[in-house]
Structure 1
Amino acid sequence: MLTEYTAPGESVEVGDDESIYSLLTGRIARTGENTVIAERKTAPGQWMKVTTGEFHKDVIAAAKGLIAFGIAKGDAVTIFSATRYEWGVLDFALAAIGAVNVPIYDTDSAAQAERILNDSDVKLAIADNRERFDRLDSVIDRCPSLKH
């Protein structure tokens, strides 16, 4: 049996013009660029603190790269990756340009990936390693909207 616990919190109003990216820029405006918000694995057992300013810089760089690939507001992009720092950067970058993140679980099969890519008209798919890239590559001929 599953037990569910909840705790009431303050009600938060989210405006139509707000996104996950605006949460980041709002945080920077409130607390500055030196607030530590994450840690990034640099080697086995080694982690580096990441500030809001550093994260924002990475997000902007990724957004510019997405735009260079022709990604625009409303376009669907897949991130086929295990949970990692770069996944978060790409997610925020997609929100910054108004594109849609269509994640694929890192354990999904090629057939599952194909279904997700086609159901969402994904234009760009990003994989975090060769094995997941190969899964995508095996179905690319059956995904007409996929450009890259």
Structure 2
Amino acid sequence: MVAQLYDAHHGWLSSWLRKRLGNNADAADLAQDAFAGILLASRRQSLPNLREPRAYLTTIAKRLVVDFYRRHALERAYLEALALVPAEHAPSEEQRLIILQSLQEIDALLDALPAKVRQAFLLSQLDGLTYAQIAAEMSIGVRSVKRYMAEAFRHCILAAP
């Protein structure tokens, strides 16, 4: 089933991605990622009967494009911050790659949280606000903040290797 989908629509998907990315190499990579994801999913459960395979592929591709741009924005922000670091304190290329991969994993982890849970978690962990301050900032009760924080911590613990 996946092989037939690939044979029939890989060229079309690559072209669709190329129009959005303006780059053949990135389009080819994302097209492969789309089909690799479909193949992995098909091993866990059978693929649904696709009456509109291009719509299915477009949905997958749109998510991949969003992730692609998010990764690049994160990388640009990291490199801009790194440019401000004196050369003698700059991390090695290997350390840079590890840091960038870690930032991407953290970004994906936070993105998977519901918006209010993510907001409460970031206000606590990045801004150092107390639960009462978070409640006031978000116009919710402290009890809701506690629930959001428990959910965020549970999500982080379950994501840990």
TM superposition score normalised by structure 2: 0.29
**More strand as a share of residues:** 1
Q: Which has the higher contact order (CA 8 A, sep 6+)?
A: 1
TM superposition score normalised by structure 1: 0.30
**More helix as a share of residues:** 2
